[in-house]
Structure 1
């Protein structure tokens, strides 16, 4: 997985294509849906799992410049982390190379990290998703938000190695395993959905 995204970054640079998204407007739309989790009226800490080159920071600076956010970006690709560090720095901005967050925060988000399973067997990939959701729950005091490609995506649009999810499977998992309240969002005219998971 780290190699896959490192190659994307080398080919396309710190752009949406460099993290396997099609364009900036759809990337921004995903961020807007994920960030429905957060209360921007007061300071908070945020873990960004699968941060890539740090694009979320650009969005936050543009749309929420007055909110103090203690940000930690986490990514499996060391090249992504290096790129993010070059692009953004500050007293409240940190990056970590790895699969999981080393700290607890008020909120966590993970955009697109479950979509590309490559040649992993389905059960192995879904076990990895379960472990990641449990970790997000353990490291998020107030809640977390994730997104998935919807299983209803037309077959001709689904590329090899793309994981298409059943929303009820993951809503049920978060409710049963994590004891959380889950808000389902799919009203943004894309073949995907967002889960807001709160405690």
Structure 2
């Protein structure tokens, strides 16, 4: 995948992983369910505790696990839209999530505004794209998330503070992305880099 806008290779990777593992955390590149849910907990902090009904965009929704997490934790959702580049993942999500207020869309860009937009693991795998090209792709996607988010957005990424790297992954500099979000999106930005995973989460509130 030389062109990061052509995500067919990424879609194929996750389709194969789903076939191999089934709808569990390993199918979307995570070690186990506990770490998967910890990521969700960090992302969901952007919502706050007022528990008023919200709408949600989930970019890179996989098999719908974040929907399940939010509903299990009592978040009142009037409309959830999950996006993914893998048709196989979306088919599994539609099979698992049979709710009138949940929709699933094939694509890599948000096309409808929501109160909050999320991306968990969406930027991790660059495969053969160069780091510079993938960074441009990530920044463009974040701009899209910002434009489609009324109240806030949250995303995570493998941290650049590591002592070993996988050539197929993208490791984000947390300071760079914090500054980017502060400069372009909102003055209310939180960087979470104090939990026991080799990654960070950024929360942007508007």
TM-score category (smaller protein): over 0.9
Task: Determine the structure 2 residue equivalent to 1:165.
Answer: 172
2:181 matches 1:181: no
1:143 counterpart = 2:170: no
> Partner residue of 2:138?
129
Shift of 1:39: 3.5
Find the aligned partners of 2:97 and 2:186 in 1 and give their Cα distance: 36
Q: Does 1:197 align with 2:197?
A: no
Write the distance in 1 (CA, Å) between the matches of 2:145 and 2:153.
7
Unaligned regions of 5+ residues in structure 1, if any?
none
Q: TM-score with structure 2 length normalisation?
A: 0.91
In structure 1, distance between residues paired with 2:35 and 2:86? 22
| In the alignment, structure 1 residue 22 sits paired with structure 2 residue 26 | no
Partner of 1:71: 80
Cα drift, residue 160 of structure 1: 2.1
Tell me the alpha carbon deviations over residues 113-163 of structure 1, each in whole angstroms, 9 at most, x when there is no partner.
Answer: 1111111111100000010010000000011000011111221xx222111
Partner SS for 1:6: helix
Aligned residues: 196
CA distance in 2, matches of 1:144, 1:125: 20
Gaps of 5+ in 2: 1-9
Partner of 1:55: 65
**For 1:116 and 1:69, how far apart are their aligned partners in 2?**
31
Q: Give, in whole Å, the separation in 1 of the partners of 2:157 and 2:29.
A: 14
Question: What is the aligned-residue RMSD (CA, Å)?
Answer: 1.3
Distance 1:180 1:137, change over 3 A: farther
2 CA distance for matches of 1:30 and 1:179?
A: 22
Tell me, yes or no, if the aligned pair for 2:186 and 2:204 is still in contact at 8 Å. no
Residue 82 of structure 2 aligns to a residue whose secondary structure is: strand
CA gap of 1:69–1:35, structure 2 versus 1, over 3 A, is farther
TM-score, structure 1 as length reference:
0.94
Instruction: Give 3-state SS (helix, strand or coil) of 1:80's partner.
Output: helix
Aligned equivalents of 1:53, 1:180: Cα separation in 2: 33
